Structure 1
């Protein structure tokens, strides 16, 4: 109840909280009410100190403030707030998701207009998963890859354009753009390399499909 005391309270309000003062100080025009309280300092009832507490009033008999006689008593009655220990983010290993380019883009496409409906939905869902699972986000790397069909220059440009498109859609879906970078690797990092042939037959295109991909690597914590 002492902690509920506030300036501006009338004597009746103070009496409801603290009771009558513990010293006889007259009936009319009294400017001070004094109390004695036993404040515990330990776990047992005998571990306590006796503290004097004074309430002062103005001419309108409204409390102007209240004071403990000693700093020790003030500290016992109003212990300092303990600041919570800040949570330290738990750093998780980098998480990598590989998205098939054939499932993201129309054939030979790389721009936003070339995104397939299912591909667009998958990227948006990926952004939602990242926001939900990474409370602290350090970086996201979007890397585009192609198969070995076509020239080096063409494949490099295609892989970069696809990475840029996926990056832009992640940003549109709520990911901080400053945390996302896009990289094109062309055909330099294939995941399958035992597909025979150099002519783009249907069989070869199918065999090389795993190489046509966009990888999203996320580093962060929770």
Structure 2
């Protein structure tokens, strides 16, 4: 009985020693006491991850951005997990990862990430292979990967002849505006997630008429864009009548009032995109 236990303990000790020797071959040499550099950085082969980390992981880019010098091992693990290779966890001063990142075109990039710790086991320096992958740890990478939107505002007075709302009623100037919009959408079609077209009227006339007119104009714009090659499955259109007025007018004379209310007669095209940071608004007149 005692000999069996002794043999088991010896076996575990040998396996532990072999594991340590294997790990040593993957560790960088001459890591500085402050963790800011190493004499030689050693990168493990991507295929040498532990079985549970085979193929790497897809880290949260927002969490990746929060990885900074001064984190202890538990804090680092809470953000990006424990190391993916067999260098160990507690006593070592280096952790290695295999990360995958998906861009706006659905292409996956695989990157190796290395963390060096100081003598107090606080993370101090970070390395990427290839170096271009460092963008995923920077603020700009988050902005580039975040969804964004562009808003195009088109004047209904310029788009359509008076009180009309079919594709045939779109003016030459209106067609020129929509042709340019279609070209923009097709140029960035791999990043377009959704196109929301909203028609609006001014407050003159009945609600029933305004709701119908704004809806028919929104659908006319949608149909025109589809004719130019914009995928119909990306587009939704609706009429919102006199709601969301952008200008309030008190003119009593009808012609002056109609002119004053012109900004409310509009078609808004809201384009949801991936891969471009920030929101923008464009007026097309």
For this structure pair, what is the TM-score category when the shorter chain's length is used for normalisation?
0.5 to 0.7
Structure with the bigger percentage of helix: 2
Q: Trace 1:169-180 onto structure 2 (pairs within 5 A).
A: 169-180=224-235
In the TM superposition, residue 188 of structure 1 has moved relative to its aligned partner by 1.2
Aligned to 2:240: 185
Deviation track 1:80-126 (CA, whole Å, cap 9, x = no partner) reads: xxxxx675113442110100000000011111111101101211110
Is residue 160 of structure 1 aligned with residue 175 of structure 2?
no
Partners of 1:176 and 1:221 in 2: CA distance: 17
Unaligned 5+ runs, structure 2: 1-99, 105-144, 276-285
Deviation track 1:127-169 (CA, whole Å, cap 9, x = no partner) reads: 1111213422210000000000000000000000000000011
Query: TM-score, normalising length from structure 1?
Result: 0.58
Q: Trace 1:48-63 onto structure 2 (pairs within 5 A).
A: none
Q: Trace 1:50-199 onto structure 2 (pairs within 5 A).
A: 87-89=102-104, 90-197=145-252
Deviation track 1:30-56 (CA, whole Å, cap 9, x = no partner) reads: xxxxxxxxxxxxxxxxxxxxxxxxxxx
Structure with larger Rg: 1
Aligned to 2:268: 215
Instruction: Verify the 8 A CA contact 1:195 1:208 in the aligned structure 2.
Output: no
Partners of 2:217 and 2:227 in 1: CA distance: 15
CA RMSD, Structure 1 to Structure 2 (Å): 2.7
Given candidates 235, 255, 278, the residue that maps to 1:202 is 255
Instruction: Verify the 8 A CA contact 2:249 2:257 in the aligned structure 1.
Output: no
Query: TM-score, normalising length from structure 2?
Result: 0.46
Partners of 1:152 and 1:190 in 2: CA distance: 14
In the TM superposition, residue 175 of structure 1 has moved relative to its aligned partner by 1.1
Unaligned 5+ runs, structure 1: 1-84
Count of aligned positions: 143
Instruction: Verify the 8 A CA contact 1:134 1:221 in the aligned structure 2.
Output: no
Partners of 2:101 and 2:198 in 1: CA distance: 35
Partners of 1:183 and 1:144 in 2: CA distance: 6
Higher relative contact order (CA 8 A, sep 6+): 1
